[in-house]
Amino acid sequence: MKIKLDRTRCDGFGICARHAPDRFPLDDWGYAVLAGDPTLDSAEEPAVTRALLDCPVHAITTLPEQERPSGTAP
Ligand code: SF4
């Protein structure tokens, strides 16, 4: 799973930071920052998914998986 944080939408509620503090540290003004690689490992997915679902302004979204070249098996 790959995620994106749109900081222009973030209102700084800090809910994501409570669910996944290592991934969503807050800056000096209380707005979330996406830390690390946007591609998550499976251990991170439950907490980050909770953050995504609970963000009141939908600032956290998933990115589509990379397209595979046509004709290749998944
Ligand atoms: S939950 Fe959403 S609005 Fe709140 S700090 Fe995180 S990204 Fe920003």
Give the pLDDT confidence of 6-37 residue by residue, as tens digits: 999 999 989 999 999 999 999 999 999 999 99
pLDDT of 71 above 70: no
Ligand 1, from 10, 29, 54: best to mutate by most atoms within 8 Å of Cβ? 10
Rounded to the nearest integer, the mean pLDDT of the chain is 91
Q: What residues contact 5, with CB distance under 8 A and at least 6 apart?
A: 24, 32, 33, 34, 59, 60
C-alpha separations of 33 from 22, 54, 56 in Å: 10, 16, 16
Q: Which residues line ligand 1 (CB under 6 A)?
A: 10-16, 24, 32, 55, 57, 59-60
Do 21 and 51 form a contact (C-beta atoms < 8 A)?
no
Give the residue from 43, 29, 21, 16 showing the smallest Cα distance to 6. Answer: 16
pLDDT digits (tens, 9 = 90+) for 33-63: 999 999 999 999 999 999 999 999 999 999 9
Residue with tokens 């009141």: 56
Q: Whose CA is nearest to atom 6 of ligand 1?
A: 16
What is the topology classification, in CATH, of domain 2-63? Alpha-Beta Plaits (3.30.70)
Q: Whose CA is nearest to atom 1 of ligand 1?
A: 55
